Amino acid sequence: MSARWGCGYAGRVLLVDLTAGRSTIEPLDHGVARRFLGGRGLNMRVLYDEVTPGVHPLSPENRLMFATGPLVGTHFPGACRVNVSARSPLTGILGDSNAGGFFGPELKYAGFDQVIIQGRAPRPVYLFITDEGAHLRPAEHLWGLDVWETQQAIRSELGDEGVQVGVAGPAAENGVLFAGVFFNLARPAARTGMGTVMASKNRKAVAVRGRGMVRVADPAAFASLVGTADAAIFAHPEYDARRRLGTTRLVRALHGLGCLASFHFRTGCFPGVDRVSGERLAATYRVKGKACFGCTIPCSRFFRIESGPFAGLASEGPEFEGLAGFSSRVGNDDLAVALRAIDMCNRYGMDVISASEAISFVMELGEAGLVSSREADGLDLRWGNANTILALLEKICRREGIGDVLAGGVRRAAELIGRGSERYAMHVKGLEVFQADPRGIKGYALGVAVASRGGDHLRSEPWFELTGDSEEATRRFGEAEAAQRLSPRGKGRLVKYYEERCALADCLQVCKNTLVNMEILPYDQAACILAAATGWEFSEEELQASCERLVNLERCYNARLGLGRADDTLPDRFTREPLPPDSGPSAGSVVELDQMLDEYYLARGWDLSTGLPKGETLSRLGLEISVNPGAAAPGGCS
Ligand code: SF4
């Protein structure tokens, strides 16, 4: 089968210069699209080539990119996603975030695989994309509106409820460095401050409406492969639990394992878990299930609070990260308060992980006597105080008082506060870590330490370590203990494997719930579906190498900014302080990071002392670049 451009891929890239107020449409380059597959691959290649170390994240020269993948907009299950990328203002390194919902497919229907935005508009604007290209529309009247109000205002103005909208909320306008781009109200590309970059360009929103369709090269083969994938999803042992509870089931599950982020990682179990679990949420407030475009699980839900101080509050979700973040992490066992906090983050446009870390960080500083109530604007910093949680979110969004200190993330906040507060800041490379305690899941610990966008679990998701399947672990990773979550052994190869699976999901723009956690599409089938969609012949090995190439390119991008092995680290709490006795089956555990790093670098073909790719590794992957730590590499990566 030969490649047919316009199958799978739309074949067009939209370039927007906000300073000049103009846009152009260019064809997507075949060679580039094959080497740097789909959303994350396309964006990363532009980031490497065009956003060199001298480009400040909030300068007009930073690129803000939206890209989909070759399956998006088809009926392949969960092929709905979009990657948003730029240099991050929160971390200073690679910034990237991925969202589901309906925006990605709509962008494909408008005929675009990627949108690259540079410059800064002289006045607030929003970008409206149609099949004909980009239209810049005034947005002074939208500035200051929250995410929900903005989406509704744009849909009303355009007279079309089918327009898909990505919004930077008031937090982004105010310069909160962990503000995201929010799609479909509660489907954010939340991490690494992509909304902050968008607002810095004087751009309030991006809206899209397409009239086209996505063609595939071999419709019969494609339909047959979709049928196989759907059958695998329906037959999966976790199908019912995912459908009923989504990711919220992890609150109780991680508590049971003793590694639920509780009281800012001071322990791995939360005494109030039964009042805030996903099961309690479903029994108390759930109204119905919800799905992203084309999803056959689906894992999302819709809730409504009928009585009490938050009566009338209704929204999609929440996901595990928000639910645990505003319950166990901050020591709050009032479910309605947690739902209100998540709703505030969605409306203001803030990342729930970074926001809940900021609040639990300052609560622990209060307990340790490093920040007084007076310094915190008179707030009561005791764990779980509902008024304090909600007031801090308001203050962070407005950058007011203690909120201004926290709005730059906990790394900066610790620098401002001083007094040894850095040891309480739970971040890696400036990005706040998630709601599971790495001491109880060591593959995840390694994944978070080495992730290309900072303290992030979604770059690897090595869930296999929770299976206990020693036989399969030996077969796949050469080490039986790769399937034991509390063992450091075998985790280097495990994380390498799952990093590439996550890269595959982010390139095809298929949901990680299906492609990574349920593993419904092994590489051989992925190569077949890619061929059926695009007409490209891809071997299993070639596809895996493409994912490995992307991981290496991201490593080179960060190396150029001066990062190496010394930055692949975790907060001291995880490597030096054992989980306390009340952490159930994880009690006493710490992360043996150095041992795991050595194994990981060996598996990757990276230098053990620097943590950077060796020349022979880059050559094998066809990356003709040299790693020169801390200095701008000449030329681009293509
Ligand atoms: S599994 Fe959940 S997050 Fe993934 S596509 Fe389906 S509804 Fe969206």
Verify whether ligand 1 is closer than 6 Å to residue 292 (CB atom). Answer: yes
- Which of 509, 495, 523, 499 minimizes the C-alpha distance to 597? 495
Counting every residue written for the chain, the total comes to 638
DSSP H/E element including 597: helix 593-604
Atom of ligand 1 nearest to the CA of 242: 1
User: For residues 323 and 338, what is the distance between their CA atoms, to the nearest angstrom?
Assistant: 6
298 CA to middle of ligand 1, Å? 5
pLDDT of residue 628: 67
In the chain, what is the greatest distance between 2 CA atoms, to the nearest angstrom? 70
389 CA to middle of ligand 1, Å? 29
pLDDT, average across residues 403-411? 98
Strands (DSSP E) contained in 197-268 are: 203-208
pLDDT of residue 90: 98
102 CA to middle of ligand 1, Å? 11
Beta-strand relationship, 82-87 and 64-67: antiparallel
User: For residues 126 and 139, what is the distance between their CA atoms, to the nearest angstrom?
Assistant: 6
Report the amino acid identity of residue 309: P
DSSP line for 435-492: SB-GGG-HHHHHHHHH-TTSS-STTT--GGGGS--HHHHHHHHS-GGGG-TT--TTHH
Over the stretch 29-52, which tens digit does the pLDDT of each residue have? 989 999 999 899 999 999 999 999
Q: Can you tell me whether residue 238 is helix, strand or coil?
A: coil
User: For residues 621 and 635, what is the distance between their CA atoms, to the nearest angstrom?
Assistant: 18
Beta-strand relationship, 12-17 and 114-118: parallel
pLDDT of residue 629: 62
Verify whether ligand 1 is closer than 6 Å to residue 300 (CB atom). Answer: yes
pLDDT of residue 625: 85
- Which of 379, 389, 180, 189 minimizes the C-alpha distance to 276? 389
313 CA to middle of ligand 1, Å? 22
- Residue 147's Cβ-side half-sphere holds a number of Cα atoms within 13 Å equal to 32
Verify whether ligand 1 is closer than 6 Å to residue 101 (CB atom). Answer: no
Q: Which two tokens stand for residue 393?
A: 């979110």
Over the stretch 451-489, which tens digit does the pLDDT of each residue have? 999 999 999 999 999 999 999 999 999 999 999 999 999
Q: Where are the alpha helices (DSSP H) in 258-334?
A: 273-276, 278-284, 320-325
pLDDT of residue 631: 52
Over the stretch 169-179, which tens digit does the pLDDT of each residue have? 999 999 999 99
Contact 392, 401 (CB under 8 A): no
pLDDT of residue 4: 47
Residues paired with 203 in a beta bridge:
125
Verify whether ligand 1 is closer than 6 Å to residue 510 (CB atom). Answer: no
Q: Which two tokens stand for residue 296?
A: 């056959």
Verify whether ligand 1 is closer than 6 Å to residue 297 (CB atom). Answer: yes
268 CA to middle of ligand 1, Å? 28
Round the average pLDDT of the chain to a whole number and report it: 95
Phi-psi category of residue 326: left, alpha or beta, with phi > 0 → left and psi -120 to 50 → alpha? alpha
Pocket test for ligand 1, best of 71, 76, 300, 458 (most atoms within 8 A of CB): 300
What percentage of residues in the chain have a pLDDT greater than 70?
Answer: 97
Residue tagged 């799905």 (tokens) = 291
Over the stretch 568-616, which tens digit does the pLDDT of each residue have? 999 999 999 999 999 999 999 999 999 999 999 999 999 999 999 999 9
pLDDT of residue 287: 85
The CA angle 26-31-32, to the nearest 5 degrees, is: 65
- Which of 617, 600, 574 minimizes the C-alpha distance to 482? 600
Q: In this model, does residue 542 exceed pLDDT 80? A: yes
pLDDT of residue 632: 44
User: For residues 273 and 214, what is the distance between their CA atoms, to the nearest angstrom?
Assistant: 45
Verify whether ligand 1 is closer than 6 Å to residue 243 (CB atom). Answer: no
Verify whether ligand 1 is closer than 6 Å to residue 553 (CB atom). Answer: no
Q: In this model, does residue 638 exceed pLDDT 80? A: no
Question: Is 0.85 surpassed by the pTM of this model?
Answer: yes
List the residue whose alpha carbon is closest to atom 5 of ligand 1: 78
DSSP H/E element including 15: strand 12-17
What percentage of residues in the chain have a pLDDT greater than 90?
Answer: 95
Q: Where residue 1 falls among pLDDT bands split at 50, 70, 90? A: very low
Q: Which two tokens stand for residue 453?
A: 């966008």
- The helix-helix angle for 491-508 and 38-50 (nearest 10°) equals 100
Q: In this model, does residue 2 exceed pLDDT 50? A: no
Verify whether ligand 1 is closer than 6 Å to residue 511 (CB atom). Answer: yes
pLDDT, average across residues 489-502? 98
242 CA to middle of ligand 1, Å? 9
Atom of ligand 1 nearest to the CA of 296: 6
Q: Is the dihedral of CA 627, 62, 43, 563 positive or negative?
A: positive
Q: In this model, does residue 634 exceed pLDDT 80? A: no
Verify whether ligand 1 is closer than 6 Å to residue 104 (CB atom). Answer: no
User: For residues 486 and 600, what is the distance between their CA atoms, to the nearest angstrom?
Assistant: 17
- Which of 375, 355, 356 minimizes the C-alpha distance to 365? 375
Q: Can you tell me whether residue 73 is helix, strand or coil?
A: coil
User: For residues 99 and 165, what is the distance between their CA atoms, to the nearest angstrom?
Assistant: 12
Q: In this model, does residue 3 exceed pLDDT 70? A: no
Torsion from C-alpha of 533, 535, 539, 543, nearest 10 degrees: -50
DSSP for residue 12: E
- Which of 155, 44, 31, 125 minimizes the C-alpha distance to 452? 44
Over the stretch 354-372, which tens digit does the pLDDT of each residue have? 999 999 999 999 999 999 9
Beta-strand relationship, 94-99 and 114-118: unpaired
Verify whether ligand 1 is closer than 6 Å to residue 295 (CB atom). Answer: yes
Contact 289, 298 (CB under 8 A): yes
Verify whether ligand 1 is closer than 6 Å to residue 466 (CB atom). Answer: no
